[in-house]
Amino acid sequence: MEEKPQKEWHSISSSDTLNALGAKETGLTADEAAKRLEKFGKNELATEEKSSLLSILASQFANVLIIVLIVSATISLILGKQVESISIFVIVVLAAILGTLQEYQAGKALEALRKMASPSATVLRNGQTIEVPSSELVPGDIAIITYGNKVPADIRLIESNNLQVEEAALTGESLPVEKFTQAIEGDSIPLGDRKNLLFMGTSVSNGRGKGVVVGTGANTEFGKIATMLQNTKTEQTPLQKNLDKLGSNIGIIAIVIALVLSAFSYFINGGTILDAFIWAVALAVAIIPEALPAVVTIGLALGVQRMVKRRALIRKLPAVETLGAVNVVCTDKTGTLTKDEMTIRKVYADATTFDVDGSGYSPEGNIILNGHKVKHGAANPCLIKVLTYGVLCSDAELKLTDEGWDILGDPTEGAIVTTAQKAKIDTEAIKKENPRVDEIPFTSDKKYMATAHSTSGGRMVVLKGAFEVVMGKCSMVEAPNGAQPLTTEVESSINSTVAGFAANALRVIAVAYKMIDEQEQLTDDALTNMILAGFVAMIDPPREEVKPAIATCKKAGIRTIMITGDHKATAFAIAKELKIAHDESQVFSGSDVEKMSQSELDIAVNKASVFARIAPEHKLRIVESLMKQGNIAAMTGDGVNDAPALKKANIGVAMGITGTDVSKEAADMILTDDNFVTIVAAVEEGRTIFENIKKFLIFLLSGNAGTVFAIILAFVFGLALPLTPVQILFINFIMDGLIAIAISLEPSEGGIMHRKPRTVSEGIITRMGLLRIMSLGMAIALVTFAVYYASVTIFELQPLQAQTLFFLTLIFARLFNSLNNRSLNTSAFKSRLLGNIPLVISSIVGIAIVWATTKIGVLQTAFGNVDISINGWLVAIGAGSLVLLFGEVFKLISKDKI
Ligand code: ATP
């Protein structure tokens, strides 16, 4: 196989291109594709190098304080304090390993998510149309490209049907470029003029096409431009940025506190300057919440994985935090609130309304007139015409699967094909007899599609779309003895029939036709003076699970606004059923929006529950208006033209099943089941993640504050320095490492969807949060200090015994504090102890090690601990438990929720 012909791909014919690539129009075989994948590599642009475990481990030591600690411990080792110094090394290494595992896991979780969100492409392999991950495309593959696709590789076109592509990403040209298949003369012409080629990274804004892949990965035009390499750097979320800032502020405070306290200790308790210095560094290390970024990333990434299980795919990590603050959800109707299972219930033709029975896409069913089945062969010719023309202007096909009848293609069109088969029309035969020669594809903007057919009577155009749009292009109406003028009387009778259908939540699709000259081009402008063949009215029932989800949103302080391309009356009927709207004054239409000034729209969006007959550009205006007024808005969309609104919204939500690549790429989140309920589930997860981060932050900061306050109290009361560096580092390892992670895994606190959304401007630590950190810190310090003070002054214990008791009490106080912080606003006694197994295990491991450090000789030396009687243990546990009690009382008396 020749990899590149002498000439450029655009300058040779498509068949020469196929030959040059050893390809066939029916596609490569699976074996050949596998071989080529091996040879040419994946169809990917260079991505950021993945960090290895070792490099992550090394980065754990790239911290000034850790380096200072290691250097000082080494000096101390040389000076003979082996056991302590080695213990410091051990703890530092253990902490680094834990940090590495955390970071590695977070990285892997993010990588897995990235893979899941990666696009797929439609190709022909062995003559079969299949979907493959875009990364597996190879030169010679036959790719099928349709409206809304992101072009997955460089492709030489073999077929083009009204194909238009936006190439701004590559050429800067903002207008869509029309593509064709003929060879173009001249070798070095600009990319923008190579109109028989599709380029990776551009997007299809109209039509469809088929072509052979000529370049993949770095061999594409897109791949050649280094500056356009995908930005695969993991973006830091605002929360991560804030916490980084918080971390560095705490860092400075920590160093100051540590230096001051160690100076005190040096003057009061004596010892060497090196000892005081090591102590200071250990304390600084302990106060600084160095685990914060990794724990936040893990919290976010694990939350994102939980969301995947609930069918929401997060594309941009910052979305996770924003999700929890969403207070308005603007949602599509069809397929998101409803099942997108269209079933035609009525057909209108020849001034008569026929009923249709049967269910789903099964062609078994009947056309019924006045309660009687219409017999095969006796059907009204106008009825046959509207259904036949409807089928000609549709692409959907029925197929019998193991689960019953289903459709391939658009549900609205599937419903038409199903009904035609119920009327015993041979849908395949009529398509063959009247081949399609041209088409204008359906778009949400236009709300119609049109096709041209070569029929025995000449060239015919069929138009199918939203009732009032099609009606606006008709001047005649079909009748048994030929087309009749559409008089005002006929029109108003038809309009009232349609209004009745729409009020019953039926979607009305009209079909019109006309004959044209053989040479006449099919253009939008040519769609005038059409003949209305009739219309069909279909039901699309709401999804059962949506109604409760909307009620949940209400309780959670989230407004739901339905934004749909459907008719006002149809939309209102469904909104009423779902309890989104109760009054017609809450319904606005696209034409209303069009007429509104910005300030009128600002008022309308606050009142609206339904926007009907909306075009994608209205969505952008609506979301802008909502956001301008301080709302945090989620907005769903599926079409190419929805992309700007999805990009603009705080949370852009694309549909996984029906959505175009372009909408998916613009979105922050993709619903893999297209279901509204999934948005609500994602919001709940978003709130839980944010709350869990808050929980461990309060746990961590209150615990560290408690440790420092306790040491200060000891100094103030003239007692000996209570903690050794090893003890400090050990507490840090257990609490900031193991327990903090366990808290971030806490399941959702009940009632999270019964509260109002949080205010974004408020930040993660509110004034109330700060108050809780400080008071819990004081509680920890007071109980620990009280035990220490009593053991020195009342029970007159040996200094080492008193210091070990201080250590034990501090450990227990902080462990009890973790129980307290498992829930922020509800009682800790309500959460099941075994509801967080990692917390139970980490606590048991922590206590077991502490026990060992009071029993085993070498550990005793390392930690500076002595054996403690059972009474001592009971005192430590009892005193520590007071922190839990204190925290609970605090929750009870504070009115403000955190
Ligand atoms: P939503 O915006 O809630 O998803 P929708 O399906 O009504 O609802 P669009 O897909 O934008 O929104 O469709 C707009 C209108 O175009 C529909 O209400 C219908 O009248 C018409 N329509 C939909 N699908 C087709 C089709 N395949 N052919 C012709 N007209 C269609």
Q: Which of 81-95, 270-284, 394-408 has the highest mean pLDDT?
A: 394-408
pLDDT per position as a tens digit, 277-296:
888 888 887 787 766 776 77
Higher pLDDT residue, 531 or 833? 531
Same structural domain for residues 626 and 710?
no
Same structural domain for residues 877 and 745?
yes
Task: Say what the pLDDT of residue 228 is.
Answer: 41
What is the residue with the minimal CA distance to atom 24 of ligand 1? 412
Nearest-atom index, ligand 1, CA of 337: 3
Distance of CA 466 from the midpoint of ligand 1 (Å):
7
pLDDT per position as a tens digit, 127-168:
888 889 899 999 999 999 988 888 999 999 999 888 899 887
Q: Is 233 a residue whose pLDDT tops 60?
A: no
Distance of CA 532 from the midpoint of ligand 1 (Å):
19
Same structural domain for residues 497 and 378?
yes
CATH code, domain carrying 144: 2.70.150.10
What is the residue with the minimal CA distance to atom 10 of ligand 1? 444
Nearest-atom index, ligand 1, CA of 570: 18
Nearest-atom index, ligand 1, CA of 333: 3
Q: Is 222 a residue whose pLDDT tops 60?
A: yes
3-state secondary structure of 538: strand
Spatial neighbors of 551 by CB under 8 A, at least 6 apart, are 579
3-state secondary structure of 50: coil
pLDDT per position as a tens digit, 831-861:
777 888 999 999 999 999 999 999 998 889 8
Distance of CA 645 from the midpoint of ligand 1 (Å):
18
Around Cβ 718, how many Cβ atoms within 10 Å?
A: 8
What is the residue with the minimal CA distance to atom 11 of ligand 1? 444
Same structural domain for residues 414 and 527?
yes
Identify whether the C-beta of residue 33 lies closer than 8 Å to the C-beta of residue 150: no
Same structural domain for residues 404 and 431?
yes
Q: Is 268 a residue whose pLDDT tops 80?
A: no
CATH code, domain carrying 585: 3.40.50.1000
Q: Give the catalytic positions in this structure.
A: 332
Structural domains of the chain, count: 4
The residue among 703, 636, 697, 681 whose CA lies nearest residue 663 is 636
Q: How far apart are CA 43 and CA 121, in angstroms?
A: 11
Identify whether 494 is part of a domain.
yes
pTM score: 0.80
* Choice from 397, 471, 535, 566 to test ligand 1 binding pocket (greatest atom count within 8 A of CB): 566
* Choice from 334, 339, 580 to test ligand 1 binding pocket (greatest atom count within 8 A of CB): 334
CATH code, domain carrying 419: 3.40.1110.10
End residue of a domain, out of 190, 225, 260: 225
Identify whether 276 is part of a domain.
no
Residue type (1 letter), 123: V
Same structural domain for residues 502 and 648?
no
Distance of CA 149 from the midpoint of ligand 1 (Å):
19
Higher pLDDT residue, 549 or 2? 549
Nearest-atom index, ligand 1, CA of 335: 4
Task: Say what the pLDDT of residue 236 is.
Answer: 61
In the structure, what pLDDT confidence band is assigned to residue 226 with cuts at 50, 70 and 90? very low
Identify whether 60 is part of a domain.
no
Q: How far apart are CA 645 and CA 663, in angstroms?
A: 10
Around Cβ 112, how many Cβ atoms within 10 Å?
A: 14
Nearest-atom index, ligand 1, CA of 469: 20
Q: Span 342-364, mean pLDDT?
A: 93
In the structure, what pLDDT confidence band is assigned to residue 6 with cuts at 50, 70 and 90? low
Token pair recorded at residue 532: 């209305």
Identify whether the C-beta of residue 66 lies closer than 8 Å to the C-beta of residue 285: yes
Name the residue range of residue 486's domain.
344-539
What is the residue with the minimal CA distance to atom 31 of ligand 1? 465
End residue of a domain, out of 519, 539, 559: 539
Same structural domain for residues 715 and 801?
yes
Distance of CA 465 from the midpoint of ligand 1 (Å):
8
Distance of CA 831 from the midpoint of ligand 1 (Å):
48
Nearest-atom index, ligand 1, CA of 447: 16
Phi, psi torsion values for 424, nearest 5 degrees: 65, 35
Distance of CA 565 from the midpoint of ligand 1 (Å):
6
Protein residues with CB under 6 Å of any ligand 1 atom: 332-334, 410, 412-413, 442, 444, 447-449, 464-466, 507, 509, 564-566
pLDDT per position as a tens digit, 595-631:
999 999 999 999 999 999 998 889 999 999 999 999 9
Q: How far apart are CA 878 and CA 706, in angstroms?
A: 17
Same structural domain for residues 32 and 120?
yes
Identify whether 57 is part of a domain.
no
Cα separation values, 704 from 227, 244, 289, 591, 603, Å: 45, 17, 9, 60, 49
- Give the distance, in angstroms, between the CA of residue 847 and the centroid of all CA atoms in the same chain: 40
Same structural domain for residues 29 and 148?
yes
Same structural domain for residues 298 and 317?
no
* Choice from 442, 617, 660 to test ligand 1 binding pocket (greatest atom count within 8 A of CB): 442
Identify whether 882 is part of a domain.
yes
Task: Say what the pLDDT of residue 2 is.
Answer: 44
